Structure 1
Amino acid sequence: MKTREDKIYDTIGHVIMTILSLVAIIPILLMLVSSATDNNALLQNGYSFFPEKWSLFAYEWIFSSNSAVVLRAYGMSFVLTGSGVTISLIITTLLAYGLSKKDLPFRGALTFMVFFTMLFNGGLVSTYINYTRVFHVKDTFAGLLVPGLLMNAFNVLLMKSYFVTGVPDEILEAAYIDGAGEFQTMYAVALPMAKPIIATIGMFVGISYWNDWNNGFIYLVKNTDLYSIQNLLNRLMQNIQALSQNASNLSDASQGLAQIPTATVRMAMATLGILPIVIIYPFIQKNFVKGITLGGVKG
C-alpha cells in the first residue's frame, strides 16, 4: 500500500512529466497545423492552432515542382540511414563486446583511446582535408556515410557498460564450458540479451543519419543526385531566400515568389523531414521496455 509520501511523489512526477510532454508535443502540433494553413492567412494572423483557412498548397507546391527529386531524396535518406545503422551497429557491437572482456590485453588503454575521441578531435579543416584528399569521399556516398556519424565513442562506451552489467558472466562461462567459441558466444548468447541496448543505439544512429544535412552540405559539391531529404529541403529553403532577397530587383523573381507559399512551405518541409521518424518510432519503442535478460543465473 502506498504511503502519503509516495502518493505526493507520484503526483509531482506525473505533473512534471505532463508539462515536459506538452513542451515537446505542442511545437510539433503547431508545426503540423501551420503547414496545412493558407499562406496568406498565416502571414496576416500569425501562427495559430485554429487557422481561419486551411490549405495544403505548401505540400502541393513541393511535390508538383519537385516530385521526382523529393522522392529520390527520400529514397537516398532511407538507403543512407539503413546502411549507416547497419554498419555502425556492427562496428559498435564488435568493439564494445571486445572492450567488455576483462582479460582483453591493453583493455584500459584501448578504452581510454575510445573515450579520448569524445573530448578532442582534429578540427573541421583538418578533418575535411583528410576525408577529401586522403579518403576521397567528396561527391560520393561515403561522404554522407562516414564522416562524424559512422562511429560514436559514446555509443561504444554505452554498449560496453551494458555488456559488463547486463550480460552475466556465469551465462558466458556456461557457453564456454559447452564448447562455444568467442564469436559463437557473442552471437548466440550476448547479442540476444543485448537487444534493448542495440535497439536504443540503433535509434540514436538512425535519427542522426536521417537528420544530418551537414555532410551533404560539406562533401557534396557537384553530385546533387546524392542529396538526402534534409539536404534537398535545405537547398529549397536557400532558393526561396534567394528569391526573397532579389524580388525587389528582378520582376521575374517577384512573380515567382508570389506563387510560393513562403511561410507555410517552411513548416511543410519540416513536417516532411520528421514524418518517417515519427511513423517508425512506435515500432522501435517497444524494445525500450522489454526485459533486459532472456535467461536466469543460478545461485
Structure 2
Amino acid sequence: MSKKKIQSVGVRSFGKKADIFFNVFLAIFALSCVFPFVFVIIISLTSEQSLLTNGYTLWPSEWSLDGYRYLMDLKEQLLQSLFVTVTVTVVGTLINTTFTSTFAYAISRSDFVLRKFFTIACLITMLFSAGMVPNYIVMTSMLGLKDTIWALILPMAISPFNVIVMRTFFKRTVPDSIIESARIDGASELRIFGQIVLPLAVPGIATISLFAALGFWNDWFNALLYIQSDNLIPLQYLLMKIQANIEFMTQNASMGSALSSGAEAIPKEATRMAMVVISTLPIALSYPFFQKYFVSGLTIGGVKE
C-alpha cells in the first residue's frame, strides 16, 4: 500500500472518530439542556408529602396532580390571562417584527441619506433609557394607555437590538444589485421590500420574531405598572400573584386556625413547579415551528450574470 493511501485511510479513520466524539458531546449537551425542564415536570407531578419526606428525586415515591388541581380551581382566571397573553404575544410580535424590519432595512441601504443619524439614535436607546418614571408618565398621562391592552404591547413595539441584528442581516444578505435592478424595472420601495427583500430575509425575520414573542410571553413588569383590571392581567403576572399569595399564606399561617389549615392544604412546591410548566411549555413547543425557517431562504435568490 502506498504512502498516500495509508495517509488517506488514517485521515478517514480520524474523521470518523472525531464525528463520534462530537456527536456524543452534542448529545450530552442537549440532554443537559432538556434535563432541568424534565425535572421540573417530575416535581410538579410529585405529592407534597413525598417532597417533604424524600426531597427532590427523579422517581418520587408518590405521584400526584395536586399542584395542577390547585391551579385548576383558578381555571377561569387562568384561561382569561392565557387569552390575554396569547393576544399580546401575537399582535405584539407582528408589530415588533414590522417596525423592526422596516427600520433596519432603511438604515441598511447606503443610498439613504439619514442612515447614520437613525443608526446612532438606535444605538443610543440601547445604551441609555429615560427611566421608569418618564415612561410611566408618557404611557398614562400623555398617551392615556393605562389599564388597556396596548400598555402591554407598545412599550416593546420595537427592539433596538433586533434592529441592529436585522440591519447587519440586510447588508450581508440582500445585494445592492438586486435592488438596483428592481428600481430600473420601475418597482417602488414598498414593492422591493415586500417581494424581494423579505423572501431573502426569512431566517432573520424568524429569529427576531422568536425573540419578540419570547419577550412578550414572559413580560410581567408592564402589567405591574399599567394594569389594574383583572380581565387584562397576563399569564406571567397572574402566576406571580398566585405565588405571592401562597408565600403570604405560608408565612402567616400562625395568625389563625383557618389560615393555617388552608396553607397546609396547598401543595406549595408542586404548585410552583406546575406554574413553571404552564408558563414555559407553550413557548417551548413553538421552537420547532420556528426552527425550520432559520435555514430556509439562505440560498433563495441571487444575482444572475
Normalising by the smaller structure, the TM-score range is: over 0.9
Quote the residue 1:283 is aligned against: 289
Match of 1:235 among 241, 255, 258: 241
Where 1:50 maps in the other structure, the secondary structure is: coil
Quote the residue 1:24 is aligned against: 33
Contact 1:100–1:161 (Cα < 8 Å) also in 2 = yes
Quote the residue 2:185 is aligned against: 178
* Residue 160 of structure 1: how far off its partner (Å): 1.1
Q: Distance in 1 between matches of 2:98 and 2:182?
A: 22
* Residue 11 of structure 1: how far off its partner (Å): 5.7
Match of 1:84 among 85, 92, 99: 92
* Residue 255 of structure 1: how far off its partner (Å): 1.4
Where 2:105 maps in the other structure, the secondary structure is: helix
* Residue 261 of structure 1: how far off its partner (Å): 0.7
* Residue 256 of structure 1: how far off its partner (Å): 1.1
Q: What residue identity is the alignment partner of 1:39?
A: E
Q: Distance in 2 between matches of 1:136 and 1:8?
A: 64
Stretch moving more, 54-63 or 262-271 = 54-63
Stretch moving more, 19-28 or 189-198 = 19-28
Q: What residue identity is the alignment partner of 2:275?
A: M
Q: How many residues align?
A: 296
Stretch moving more, 117-126 or 191-200 = 117-126
* Residue 23 of structure 1: how far off its partner (Å): 3.1
Q: Distance in 2 between matches of 1:175 and 1:131?
A: 41
* Residue 168 of structure 1: how far off its partner (Å): 1.4
* Residue 274 of structure 1: how far off its partner (Å): 0.8
Q: Does 1:54 align with 2:59?
A: no
Where 2:254 maps in the other structure, the secondary structure is: coil
| Sequence identity percentage | 37
Contact 1:170–1:297 (Cα < 8 Å) also in 2 = yes
Cα deviations by residue, 1:209-253 (Å, 9 ceiling, x for unpaired):
001111111221x21210111111111111111111110112111
Stretch moving more, 80-89 or 19-28 = 19-28
* Residue 10 of structure 1: how far off its partner (Å): 4.9
Contact 1:194–1:293 (Cα < 8 Å) also in 2 = no
- The unaligned stretches of length 5 or more in structure 1 are none
Where 1:233 maps in the other structure, the secondary structure is: helix
Q: What residue identity is the alignment partner of 1:207?
A: L
Quote the residue 1:215 is aligned against: 222
Contact 1:82–1:206 (Cα < 8 Å) also in 2 = yes
Match of 1:190 among 189, 194, 197: 197
Quote the residue 1:292 is aligned against: 298
Where 2:112 maps in the other structure, the secondary structure is: coil
Decide whether aligned partners of structure 1 residues 5 and 81 sit closer, same or farther in structure 2, where only a CA change above 3 A counts.
same
Cα deviations by residue, 1:265-289 (Å, 9 ceiling, x for unpaired):
0000000001111222111111112
Cα deviations by residue, 1:41-100 (Å, 9 ceiling, x for unpaired):
01221111111111112111111x111111111111110000100111111111111111
Q: Distance in 1 between matches of 2:23 and 2:133?
A: 47
Q: Distance in 2 between matches of 1:16 and 1:115?
A: 38
Stretch moving more, 17-26 or 117-126 = 17-26
Q: TM-score, normalised by structure 2?
A: 0.91
Q: What residue identity is the alignment partner of 2:214?
A: I
Cα deviations by residue, 1:193-213 (Å, 9 ceiling, x for unpaired):
111111110000001100111
Where 2:286 maps in the other structure, the secondary structure is: helix
Quote the residue 1:117 is aligned against: 125
Quote the residue 1:126 is aligned against: 134
Contact 1:166–1:293 (Cα < 8 Å) also in 2 = no
Match of 1:152 among 145, 148, 159: 159
Contact 2:201–2:297 (Cα < 8 Å) also in 1 = no
Quote the residue 1:244 is aligned against: 250
Q: What residue identity is the alignment partner of 2:90?
A: G
Moved over 6 A (4+): none
* Residue 191 of structure 1: how far off its partner (Å): 0.6
RMSD: 1.8
Q: Distance in 2 between matches of 1:213 and 1:16?
A: 37
Quote the residue 2:5 is aligned against: none
Quote the residue 2:143 is aligned against: 135
- The unaligned stretches of length 5 or more in structure 2 are 1-7
Q: Distance in 2 between matches of 1:127 and 1:12?
A: 52
